Amino acid sequence: MAYREPGVYTNIINTRPLTGSSPNLIPLIIGEGPKFQDKTTVPIVRAAAGDNDTLPSTKVTAITRVYTITNGVETTIIITGNYALSGNNIIAWQAAGPNKPASGVTYYVDYEARPEATQYLPVYITSFEALKTMYYGQLMRSTTGGADNTLNPAYLGAYLALEAGCQGVYVIQVEPADKVNYAVVIDTDIVTALAKAATLDDAYYVVPMTSSATAVGLVITHCTTMSTTIERKERICFISKNFSTPAAASGLFTSGELDSVVSAVSSLVNKRVRVPFITTATKVLSNGTEYSLGAEYVCAALAGLSAVIPVSKALTRQSLFGFNTFKNVFSLTRLDKNRVAAAGIIVFEQPGGVGSNINIRHGVTTNMTNAADKEHSVVVSVDYTAKYVRSLLEGYIGKFNIDAFLLSKISGSLTGAKGLLVSTGVLRDFKYGAILQDELNPDSLLINISVLPLYPCNYIDVSLLIE
């Protein structure tokens, strides 16, 4: 049992519903998924005429078993001299083959197939069961007829987000342009996935399940673009920078290695980007084996955690569960941690040792230039406010003329918004000035709103006076 020092420990539980509230801030996992899928116990009714039956999947690669079930007892039909896979989805029976089911009889087929086109569309997942139905398991098959022994980034990323506590997550399996080998080239194929992501209104915490610098850069650009005044879909991202483990046998980072860490994020300076300091994370997966995972998997867990805590609640001192350890967490001195965090990187600690809770030391963004932009929770609460106010006022567009009645209604709506945002702890204060008609564009209203976010208490400076 991990030791904890005496003290008061508080667990923050979100009582703000994710689905149905306005606005929703939903994690979005984008990653490679299974190249092959096993379909089992698929019922087929033997055709009235001819020797061919159509399988429901359109990209079947192999038929593994055909059988009948009578009074709960299975009888396998041997393939030799009976049937064959024809084309992409036809089971062709031999005209004179033995054991061919009679017309109208229901038999069952197990087969292997490539994913259907619908699997590459954005899917909203709210349970582990639905996740498994859609993307199979934490391990996936990458070769025909092989075992499920390769990490499944799309599934595992969404699993970690749900495990962290979020009530729902979007998943987009990256679609390979190469439909012959189904080999994902993440640097180019992710472009199509991001185009699909652009259609989602309530996706917010974006996680690319890769450490490819090119793909990660495209995600950063996506989040920045989606957050512009024109796009009006504020987003942030958790990304992997693929940091290397220390070279020394001691396991400690050298000053030069930390220089490389800091250099990796020095050009970002973006409040929409969060970078965790992870070299390798370890976790026991569904087959009972401990796996080494890249930082992108920790990013998925961070997105899920962010979605479940209140928007104004800092990530600082929050805990991640389910991982055994982050291997770099014991490799930094306090000064090292300060240096990494000052660069805009999220540092972790595991005071209870391997297997215990992993704590976030400081929830920062990569823009450390001012308090408003460096704090994750401040950025999120302001984004939430922007989405809320926009949704609140959207109902007036095109339905009213600009007159005293409309100005009064908008003023009342903004007063109500202030009361809700302040009372629910999203903001500390919300003020708006006069609602004016634009003289140059008379079909436009001008409203200045001043918001005061709730800042986390990160520091308490105490002076001891000796008398």
Where does a domain end: 374, 392, 418? 374
190 and 308 housed in the same domain: yes
Contact assessment for residue 25 and residue 384, using Cβ atoms and an 8 Å cutoff = yes
338 and 417 housed in the same domain: no
409 and 314 housed in the same domain: no
Indicate the Cα dihedral angle 285, 291, 294, 297, nearest 10°.
10
129 and 189 housed in the same domain: yes
291 and 435 housed in the same domain: no
Q: CA-CA distance, 192 to 458, in Å (whole number)? A: 40
Within a domain: residue 382? no
181 and 46 housed in the same domain: no
Within a domain: residue 308? yes
342 and 465 housed in the same domain: no
126 and 264 housed in the same domain: yes
Does the pLDDT at position 180 exceed 90?
Answer: no
Structure tokens at 291: 């796996």
Where does a domain end: 94, 113, 132? 113
Where does a domain end: 53, 84, 113? 113
266 and 415 housed in the same domain: no
Structure tokens at 428: 């500390």
pLDDT at 7: 62
104 and 248 housed in the same domain: no
Does the pLDDT at position 19 exceed 90?
Answer: no
419 and 349 housed in the same domain: no
Within a domain: residue 365? yes
- pLDDT 10s digits, 230-272: 999 999 999 999 999 999 888 889 999 999 999 999 999 999 9
Contact assessment for residue 124 and residue 170, using Cβ atoms and an 8 Å cutoff = yes
Within a domain: residue 7? no
pLDDT at 6: 53
Single out the residue of 317, 312, 316, 318 nearest to residue 453, CA to CA.
Answer: 312
pLDDT at 14: 42
When divided into structural domains, the chain yields a total of 3
Alpha-carbon distances of 450 from 235, 385, 428, 431, rounded to whole Å = 21, 11, 11, 5
Q: Side chain identity at 392, as an amino acid letter? A: L
Does the pLDDT at position 384 exceed 80?
Answer: yes
pLDDT at 90: 96
Q: What is the CATH number of the domain that holds 187?
A: 3.40.50.11780
Does the pLDDT at position 325 exceed 90?
Answer: yes
Burial class (CB in 10 A: 0-12, 13-18, 19+), 354: middle
Within a domain: residue 13? no
227 and 152 housed in the same domain: yes
Domain enclosing residue 158, as ranges: 26-34+117-374
Contact assessment for residue 338 and residue 258, using Cβ atoms and an 8 Å cutoff = no
pLDDT at 54: 96
Within a domain: residue 263? yes
- pLDDT 10s digits, 135-161: 999 999 888 888 888 999 999 999 999
Q: What is the DSSP letter of 2?
A: -
Within a domain: residue 240? yes
Within a domain: residue 396? no
pLDDT at 15: 40
Measured CA angle at 74 (ends 70, 79), to 5 deg: 120
Please state, rounded to an integer, the average pLDDT across all residues of the chain.
92
Instruction: Give the residue with greater pLDDT, 176 vs 142.
Output: 176
In the chain, % of residues over pLDDT 90 = 84
